[in-house]
Chain A
Amino acid sequence: MNGSLLTVDDLVVEYPGRGFRAPPFRAVEGVSFDIRPGETVGLVGESGSGKTTIGRAILGLAPVSAGTVTFRGEDISRPTPRRRRELTRDLQVVYQDPYSSLNPSLTIGDSLAEPLVVRRTPKQQARARVRELLDTVGLPTDAADRMPREFSGGQRQRVAIARALALDPTLIVCDEPVSALDLSTQALVLELFLEIQQRTGVAYLFISHDLAVVREMSHRVAVLHRGELVEWGPGDVVTSAPEHPYTQRLLLASPVPDPAAQEQRRADRLRLRELQAEQDLQAGTA
């Protein structure tokens, strides 16, 4: 698409069924959206909605059964292993679990230098780059010689962000990057994401189950339900005045940290539930 960095068109991801001649399981069912340079696209949904699978399909970690993923005009749905490795320069990832995303037996510095060393960056240069990266994410430079276990969840997530930034990517897939973090740490890490985007112009695919977080981070938001895209549009519209019944339910189910406002929201939710049940009933009888 014109002006788009990455376009996902009618994407289908299927996993082989369990057992002999079992039908395949469709995790993602014909999803289309696009990401522009420097933009954050939020992907919201509950467990089993396929949001993580979409991120993995873009990174080449999940099989694309049908549809295409286009990056800068090039179809990257089924690239050769060699091309896939080259693409990692542009496409990076930050995972949810800061505990399992760093190899516990490598120092922080070794983990960070890995993408550089693979590309035959001279040692001296790689070390300088690691220092620069640690500085970018607000960690002291002596962190390079330490082991992951010496760091808290928030600090590890900073390391994971630094690793994603090592090759100056144009798009980072952020898969629930703050879900495992405490509230105060979460705010700091979100701030870091925004700051990095302003400085480097990197685009994010921001995957989360938390509507409030997605709302704060995303220019445009896509809502997923059972592998299908149910709503897609500007962030403020989708997250404050959604049209699709599922998004409406999702919005009203997220509790707000204010007793009076939450009481109102709860009443709204119960009213909506009754209304939708009535509509379903009518649709059934009609």
Chain B
Amino acid sequence: MSSAHRLPASTPTRAPRAGLLRRLLAHPLGGVSLVLLAVIGAVAVAAPWVAPHDPTATDLRMIFAEPGGGYALGGDSAGRDVLSRLLVATACSIAGGLLVAGVAALVGVTAGLVAGFFGGWIDTLGAWFTALTMSLPSIIVLIAARSVMGPSMWWTMAIFGALVSPVYYRVVYNAVRGVRGELYIDAARTSGLSNTRIIGRHVLMAVRAPVVLLTAGVVAAGIGMQAGFDFLGLGDPTTPTWGQMLNEGFYNINRSRLLVLWPALALGLTTVFLTLLGTALRDELEGPSDARRRRNRAPWAPDGPLPAVIDHGNAPEGEPLLVVRDLAVAYPSENGFATVVRNGRLTVHRGETHGLVGESGSGKSQTAFSVLGLLPRGGTVVAGSIVFDGDELVGRTDEQMNRLRGSRIAYVPQEPMSNLDPSFTVGDQLTEPLVTVLGLSKAEAERRALDLLEQVGIPDPRRTYASYPHQLSGGMAQRVLIAGAVASRPDLLIADEPTTALDVTVQAEVLDLLRDLRDELGMAVLIVTHNFGVVADLCDRVSVMQEGVVVETGTTRDVFADPRHPYTRALFAAIPKGAPRAPLAGVTSAGALGTGRIA
């Protein structure tokens, strides 16, 4: 059992530091938009040298000139070269967009980091300012600012940046709240890092991806806003911008139709490329979508012969209730299939409790979910058979399984709290299936639900019936779920780690309850667990799973007394033996109680 020392030989995940840039270039959308944005950027920088004419020089002969003949894209209403103006305006527009994003990011990210990390009154203040800023109509603020500051593009864009900073603030704030509770932040603190360092190193890293993503959109919004502002004639008339050109083209659309086309094209393409880049960034930073994975896959095939099962025998007489044979469950993966269950074999008899034990990843829960027909998305039973009371379950439709699940096969989950709807009372949730599946009237259902609650040992059934889930303790919630599960008097109850989330004293009571109900109702119980103590307490028979294969099965007494498979033996060897540690040398028993004060 040296698995802890074994590292995966090679992981197919992308190399961690193969830069984002390289991954973006490989992305079909990202590569194209990145290259074209780079070209636009180069134009913006080189425009003064590349432009064939002075963008402000007027030539009366060229007023509304057709494209070609000296001016490549024609002349405007003042006889200026449209191409030169377009090129020079690029710098202005891009710089405007970047300024908006820069100011917004600086204000929003800083405030979001501080408020998210420290919380308290800073948080309250931040929320207040955000709400205030977002409720301001930005165009009116900008017009007001212009009348005070004069027609400066830079001031306008900077103020606009401050106005959109709440977008960053919210995203960063939420991301920081998310990681602040992570243990690695606490661990950094116990490593002796100061708050500034923790924010700069651990927290900033977590918000990096959403901020990068957001920036592509904000730059585009900034460029759009600037164009809109200039279009309204509120910009600085001395520098050529796309918005001004749009304005002019629009006014003269009857005299020269093409004038409006060029700035619109420049504006549109830049925004589209920025948006596409944002999409590509999201794909690369947040993982590819499912769609990209599903391509040319060979059908599933077993990998090698099925290993043998060690069977201790001593099976009870009679027709078994549930027989699972040669079960295989697989999930589609990037290259073919990931097989999580390779050989599931189970025989559960009427009225017996069968334990399915194994470590995480052994496929025990997947086997149980296959019987329920409730495999998580993508999971498929690719081989084998599941026979329940003489009927084959593999290949049944959802509807057929639904009918079976509601009545003859019941399920108790691991997390009681997350399996109760917080917005309905316990009574509502218990009576609903009684009415819809068993066809009882409302009053009958209520009476039955109260009986059930009493049956599962809830001291005050009426109060619990009227309670909301958050008013219950974990043990009570699990009792409620068990009550719901046994409501239809099922033949088989499948319990997936039903006590793992509970305290030991509560666990003991829930195990007692399951035992009593089994005896009372004569149902079979299939209990999935990793805890050998639970198996010893409750189970008549047990099957041990390892890496998707049932390796050993038999009565609990036989398997515990004489484990034969090496894996079963290793598991038993790993159980804490309960040998207490000798007291530390020099500490006597009496002295040990020294400073402790018993409450």
CB within 8 Å of B: which residues of A? 1, 4, 7, 9-10, 29-34, 36, 38-40, 46-47, 59, 61, 81, 85-86, 88-89, 91-93, 95, 97, 100-103, 105-107, 111, 114-115, 118-119, 138-140, 143, 146-147, 149-155, 158, 160, 163, 166-167, 182-190, 209-213, 215-220, 222, 228-237, 239-240, 244, 249-250, 252-262, 266, 269
Contacts of B589 in A (CB 8 A): 233-234, 237
The answer on a CB contact under 8 Å between A95 and B187 is yes
B535 at the interface (CB under 8 A from A): yes
A232 to chain B, nearest CB (A): 4
Q: B residues within 8 A CB of A154?
A: 3-4
Q: Contact between A185 and B3 (Cβ–Cβ < 8 Å)? A: yes
Task: State the CA gap A175–B534 with chains docked (Å).
Answer: 24
Q: Is the CB of A269 within 8 A of B508?
A: yes
B131 in the interface, Cβ–Cβ < 8 Å? no
Contacts of A9 in B (CB 8 A): 595
Cβ of B592 within 8 Å of any chain A Cβ, yes or no, is yes
A-B contact pairs, 19 of them (CB 8 A): A38-B584, A93-B187, A100-B182, A103-B202, A118-B197, A138-B5, A160-B187, A166-B191, A183-B530, A212-B576, A219-B583, A219-B584, A219-B587, A229-B599, A235-B583, A254-B504, A257-B572, A266-B508, A269-B508
A86 to B511: give the CA distance in the assembly, Å.
48
Would you call A184 and B578 a contact (CB within 8 A)? no
Write out the residue numbers on chain A whose beta carbons fall within 8 Å of the beta carbon of B573. Answer: 187
Q: Is B292 an interface residue (CB 8 A)?
A: no
CB proximity to A under 8 Å, residues B329-360: 359-360
Query: Which residue of chain A lies nearest to B8 when distances are taken between CB atoms in the complex?
Result: A150
Does any Cβ of A come within 8 Å of B580's Cβ?
A: yes
B203 to chain A, nearest CB (A): 10
Q: B596 contacts the other chain (Cβ, under 8 Å)?
A: yes
Please state if A259 and B4 are interface contacts (CB–CB under 8 Å). no
CB distance from A205 to the nearest CB of B (A): 13
The verdict on B437 contacting chain A, using a C-beta distance below 8 Å, is no
The interface residues of chain B lying within 8 Å CB-to-CB of A233 are: 589, 592-593, 596
Most chain B beta-carbon neighbours within 10 Å: one of A9, A143, A255 = A255
B565–chain A nearest beta-carbon distance, Å: 14
B231 to chain A: which residues have CB within 8 Å?
Answer: none
Contact with A along B14-53 (1 / 0, CB 8 A): 0010000000000000000000000000000000000000
Decide if B186 is an interface residue (CB 8 Å cutoff).
yes
Q: Is the CB of B537 within 8 A of A266?
A: yes
Q: For A147, what are the chain B residues with a Cβ–Cβ distance below 8 Å?
A: 16
Judge whether B536 and A256 touch: CB under 8 Å. Answer: yes
A184 touches B508 (CB 8 A): no
Whether B584 and A39, one on each chain, are in contact in the complex, defined by CB atoms closer than 8 angstroms, is: yes
Interface pair A183/B571, CB less than 8 Å apart: yes
Decide if A1 touches B187 in the complex (CB within 8 Å). Answer: no
Q: What is the CA–CA distance of A212 and B531 in the complex, to the nearest angstrom?
A: 13
User: Which A residues are in CB contact (< 8 Å) with B530?
Assistant: 182-183
- Report the minimal beta-carbon distance from A81 to chain B, rounded to whole angstroms: 7
**A46 near B187: Cβ-Cβ < 8 Å:** no
Is the beta-carbon distance between A253 and B186 smaller than 8 angstroms? no
Residues of chain A with a CB closer than 8 A to B593's CB: 232-233
Measured CB to CB, the nearest residue on chain B to A216 is B576
CA distance A217 to B505 in the complex (A): 22
State the 3 A-B residue pairs at the shortest beta-carbon distance, nearest first: A255-B533, A236-B580, A257-B532
Q: Would B596 and A222 count as touching, CB distance under 8 A?
A: yes
B140 at the interface (CB under 8 A from A): no
If A102-B184, A222-B596, A254-B533 touch, whether A216 touches B577 (CB-CB below 8 Å) is yes
Residues in A whose Cβ lies below 8 Å from that of B187? 93, 95, 101-102, 160, 163
Would A150 and B13 count as touching, CB distance under 8 A? yes
**A101 close to B184 (CB less than 8 A):** yes
On whether the beta carbons of B580 and A216 are closer than 8 Å, the reply is yes
- Bound together, the chains give a CA A234 to CA B576 distance in angstroms of 18
Q: Which residues of B contact A218 (CB under 8 A)?
A: 581
A217 CA to B183 CA in the complex, in Å?
Answer: 24
Say yes or no: A95 contacts B186, CB within 8 Å: yes
Complex contact B597–A229 (CB within 8 A): yes
**Most chain A CB atoms below 10 A, which of B197, B537, B571:** B537
Interchain CB contact (< 8 A) of B191 among A88, A212, A228 = A88
B190 touches A59 (CB 8 A): yes
Across the interface, do B536 and A88 meet the contact criterion of CB distance under 8 Å? no
Which residues of A sit under 8 angstroms from B592, Cβ to Cβ? 220, 233-234
Whether the pair B186, A255 counts as a contact (CB closer than 8 A) is no
B136 touches A (CB below 8 Å): no
